[in-house]
């Protein structure tokens, strides 16, 4: 079904913007997800379509469950996440494969080859195989929009959730997207009681397992004839099989070659692949990350070349593909530009800086988590000793406690942000309390999901639309799960925070310290009048205490003995610290550390 036709419009959109347009044109009614680069901007753009109810969920599992519920109510639903988020959502994903859908259900998952903003290079195509779900893989923003609409048709026709795999290059690159008609599902929203289909107790699940296999066979037949999979004829001396952005790399590196472009990457069109392989003299499989296609093609008994020459680590480019196959550096292809190194750093005035400065002083093992505060690992703060995945810090600290017994007492802490604590950290705290641990859990509450772009979360007090909503009371929440000792500090107050940390870390039972101060990038903080500090250079002795914070607003000015003498300082003084007042926001952490009155507050507000 479609609405009244309107003239198509050429738009210049990123892949994530195109996916949001696709959700609008597919008449999606409910969209939910958790922010994570490179997928974040999908929902940030979907929310601009007022007919779609859009929300940030506390984690990807909840986001998918919301979408599943909306599908069961007979409307089209969308769940978005990055690749590691799909791990969190895997539990409902695998069983949703059995229940199938009512309204169309699509899960967009964005992979991150080269780990530009991730902790691993996971290939989400493996989930399509494991969960027995169809997966589409667009190559550019235009296909991203079109493939999303196709995914809803497949979902409803084949009674299945559909995975759509994006990646950093598709999500963030801009391209031409042609607008289309707004479609709608033929289903009528409402409650329909279908216990044999939707209640997955073993007896029902065994029956649904048979249906899943029937569906798989139908999808395999579809893959053979679908326009999503097409052969582009050319020179048959070399043939390529590729999907997604890898297809574009092949077309740029070998424009004369014959190519089998796969848009439906699971299940595979086996006969089409056999026919294609028979028409070319040498067959290459080009794909980012895992040899997902290559492994299955070789299992079919087809000779092909893949990861023997194509790198399995990092993001491919046309030049990488050409060089891998020809062994020669391509002179006519754009090579990636080596950017000047720029060490990552917390923002000037970041409230996390004061906490990590103190943790470094305390010489404890810091079990870390995913977020801006992971930067506490870097020098000069150097105060993070482990980091695995979202929410893991709390459980890891508890595990160290139990492994080391009394030896761990006073030596292990967990740090976790507000959004991450609500994502998957709370269960770890419950476990520590229940199993009588003695960790100190530090919740870095900056009122926002910082690293992915300041998205609100249940602790922020607003929804994705910035409508007011109830705010999580962390002290009360922690007491409710059994923590007896909960303290809240301002991390900018360094000495006061140090004393609280020292007391709580020594406590032989679970305690929680909440470091509360808003992220400097929140809307309210940006509006707050700032009074920057400035250097009193004649008082600076070059002790470098302020530099140990690693604040980018403080610079070191080296001095020769002659220069030091000319400034009235001791000849052996190596330099002095200088505050960049344009960057300083007046958090006061350096002011508190300076013992020589070499830092002072400016008189006039800016």
Question: Does residue 195 sit in the same domain as residue 309?
Answer: no
570 and 551 part of one domain: yes
Q: Is there a single domain that holds both residue 356 and residue 209?
A: no
Residue by residue, DSSP assigns 571-605 as TT--EEEEE-TTT-----HHHHH-SSS-EEE-SS-
Averaged pLDDT, 529-543:
93
Question: What pLDDT is stored for residue 331 in this prediction?
Answer: 82
The residue range of the domain holding 473 is: 351-526
Rounded mean pLDDT, 223-245: 97
Q: b/e per residue, 407-424, with b = 16+ CB within 10 A?
A: ebebebbbbbbbbbbbbb
Q: Are residues 242 and 214 in the same domain?
A: no
- Averaged over 508-530, what is the pLDDT? 92
The predicted pLDDT at position 604 comes to 46
Q: Is the preceding omega at residue 267 within 30 degrees of 0, hence cis?
A: yes
pTM greater than the 0.85 cutoff = yes
- Given a cut of 70, whether residue 333 has pLDDT beyond it is yes
Task: Indicate the range of 114-128, 320-334, 554-568 predicted with least confidence.
Answer: 320-334
When mean pLDDT is compared across 143-152, 298-307, 331-340, 475-484, the lowest value belongs to: 331-340
CA–CA gap between residue 118 and residue 122 (Å, rounded): 9
Non-local CB neighbours of 101 within 8 Å, separated by 6+ positions: 71, 72, 155, 156, 159, 160, 161
Bond prior to 38 in cis (omega within 30° of 0)? yes
- Least Cα distance to 108 among 130, 89, 132, 129 occurs for 89
Does residue 102 belong to any structural domain of this protein?
yes
The reply to whether 98 and 40 lie within a common domain is yes
Q: What is the pLDDT of residue 606?
A: 43
Binding residues for [4Fe-4S] cluster: 540, 543, 546, 551, 584, 587, 590, 594
Q: What pLDDT, in 10s, does the model give residues 584-599?
A: 999 999 999 999 999 9
Looking at the structure, tell me whether residues 187 and 262 fall in a common domain: no
What's the rounded Cα separation, in Å, for the pair 401 and 397? 6
What mean pLDDT is predicted for residues 29-47?
Answer: 96
**Would you state the structure tokens that stand for residue 345, as one six-digit string?**
């750093």
Number of domains in the chain: 4
Instruction: Examine the pLDDT at 47 and tell me if it is beyond 60.
Output: yes
pLDDT (0 to 100) of residue 528:
87
pLDDT band, residue 338 (cuts 50/70/90): confident
Mean pLDDT estimate for the chain: 94
* Structure confidence by residue, pLDDT tens digits, 392-436: 999 999 999 999 999 999 999 999 999 999 999 999 999 999 999
Q: From the annotation, which residues make up the binding site?
A: 540, 543, 546, 551, 584, 587, 590, 594
Read off the pLDDT of residues 399-409 as tens digits, 9 standing for 90 and up: 999 999 999 99
3 pLDDT band (50/70/90 cuts)?
Answer: low
**H, E, C per residue of 50-112:** CCCEEEECCCHHHHHHHHHHHHHCCCCEEEEEEHHHHHHCHHHHHHHHHHCCCCCEEEEEEEC
CA neighbor of 232 nearest in space, from 287, 276, 285: 276
pLDDT of 132 strictly over 60: yes
Domain end, chosen from 470, 503, 526, is at: 526
Is 533 in the same domain as 510? no
Q: Strands, DSSP E only, in 329-432?
A: 365-367, 412-417
Residue of 227, 181, 230, 192 lying closest to 9 (CA atoms): 181
Q: Does the residue 336 lie in any domain?
A: no
Indicate which CATH number applies to the domain containing 298: 3.40.50.920
Residue 213 has pLDDT above 50, yes or no: yes
Helix (H, G, I), strand (E, B) or coil at 183: strand
In a domain, 605, yes or no: no
State whether 84 and 207 are in the same domain: yes
In a domain, 241, yes or no: yes
Q: What's the pLDDT at 603?
A: 59
Domain membership of residue 481 (yes or no) is yes
Calculate mean pLDDT across residues 115-122: 91
Q: What is the pLDDT of residue 482?
A: 97
Domain CATH number, residue 119: 3.40.50.970
Q: Say whether both 480 and 578 belong to one domain.
A: no
Residue 4: per-residue pLDDT: 53
Q: Is the pLDDT higher at 67 or at 332?
A: 67
User: Is 154 domain-assigned?
Assistant: yes
Neighbours of 524 (CB within 10 A): 9
Helix/strand number for the chain, H first, E second: 23, 22
Residues 554 and 593 in one domain: yes
Instruction: Give the domain-ending residue among 224, 243, 262.
Output: 224
- Quote the percentage of the chain above a pLDDT of 90: 90
Q: Do 507 and 521 lie in a common domain?
A: yes
- Count Cβ atoms below 10 Å from residue 43 Cβ, excluding itself: 30
Task: State the pLDDT at residue 323.
Answer: 94
The verdict on 105 and 184 lying in the same domain is yes
Residue that finishes a domain, picked among 183, 206, 224: 224
CB 112 within 8 A of CB 167: yes
d(CA 199, CA 183): 30
Residue 332 within any structural domain of the chain: no
Residue 465 lies in a domain: yes
- CATH code of the domain covering residue 561: 3.30.70.20
């Amino acid at each position: 079904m479609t609405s009244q036709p309107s003239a198509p419009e050429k738009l210049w959109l990123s892949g994530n913007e195109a996916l949001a347009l696709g959700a609008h044109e597919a008449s999606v009614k409910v969209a939910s997800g958790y922010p994570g680069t490179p997928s974040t901007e999908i929902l940030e753009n979907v929310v601009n379509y007022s007919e779609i109810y859009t929300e940030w969920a506390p984690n990807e599992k909840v986001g998918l469950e919301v979408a599943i519920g909306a599908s069961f109510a007979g409307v089209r639903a969308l769940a978005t996440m990055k690749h590691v988020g799909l791990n969190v959502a895997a539990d409902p994903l695998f069983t949703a494969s059995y229940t199938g859908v009512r309204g169309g259900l699509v899960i967009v998952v964005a992979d991150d080859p080269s780990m530009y903003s991730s902790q691993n290079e996971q290939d989400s195509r493996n989930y399509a195989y494991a969960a027995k779900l169809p997966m589409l893989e667009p190559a550019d923003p235009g296909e991203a929009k079109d493939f999303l609409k196709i995914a809803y048709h497949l979902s409803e026709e084949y009674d299945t959730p559909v995975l759509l795999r994006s990646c950093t290059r598709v999500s963030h690159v801009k391209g031409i997207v042609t607008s289309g008609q707004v479609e709608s599902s033929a289903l009528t929203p409402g409650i329909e009681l279908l216990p044999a289909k939707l209640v997955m107790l073993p007896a029902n699940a065994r029956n649904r397992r048979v249906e899943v296999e029937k569906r798989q066979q139908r999808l395999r037949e579809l893959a053979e004839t679908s326009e999503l999979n097409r052969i582009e004829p050319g020179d048959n001396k070399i043939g390529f099989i590729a999907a997604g952005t890898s297809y574009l790399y092949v077309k740029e590196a070998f424009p004369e070659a014959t190519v089998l472009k796969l848009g439906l990457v699971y299940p595979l069109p086996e006969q089409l692949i056999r026919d294609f392989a028979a028409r070319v003299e040498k067959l290459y499989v080009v794909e980012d990350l895992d040899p997902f296609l290559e492994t299955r093609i070789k299992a079919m008994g087809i000779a092909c070349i893949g990861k023997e020459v194509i790198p399995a680590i990092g993001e491919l480019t046309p030049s990488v593909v050409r060089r891998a196959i020809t062994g020669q550096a391509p002179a006519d292809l754009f090579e990636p530009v080596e950017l000047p190194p720029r060490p990552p750093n917390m923002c000037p005035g970041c409230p996390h800086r004061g906490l990590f400065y103190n943790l470094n002083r305390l010489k404890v093992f810091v079990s870390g988590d995913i977020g801006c505060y992971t930067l506490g690992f870097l020098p000069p703060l150097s105060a993070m000793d482990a980091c695995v995945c979202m929410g893991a810090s709390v459980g890891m600290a508890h595990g160290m406690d139990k492994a080391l017994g009394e030896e761990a007492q006073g030596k292990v802490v967990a740090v976790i942000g507000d959004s991450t604590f609500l994502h998957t950290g709370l269960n770890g705290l419950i476990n520590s309390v229940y199993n009588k641990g003695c960790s100190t859990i530090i919740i870095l509450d900056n009122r926002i999901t910082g690293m992915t772009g300041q998205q609100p979360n249940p602790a922020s007090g607003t929804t994705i639309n910035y409508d007011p909503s109830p705010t999580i009371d962390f002290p009360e929440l922690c007491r409710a799960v059994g923590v007896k000792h909960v303290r809240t500090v301002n991390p900018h107050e360094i000495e006061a925070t140090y004393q609280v940390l020292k007391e709580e870390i020594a406590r032989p039972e679970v305690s929680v310290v909440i470091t509360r101060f808003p992220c400097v990038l929140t809307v309210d903080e940006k509006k707050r009048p700032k009074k920057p500090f400035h250097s009193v250079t004649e008082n600076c002795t070059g002790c470098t205490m302020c530099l140990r914070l690693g604040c980018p607003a403080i610079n070191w000015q080296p001095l020769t003995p002659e220069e030091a003498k000319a400034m009235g300082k001791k000849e052996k003084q190596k330099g002095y610290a200088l505050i960049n007042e344009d960057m300083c926001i007046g958090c006061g952490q350096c002011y508190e550390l300076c013992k020589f009155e070499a830092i002072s507050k400016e008189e006039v507000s800016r």
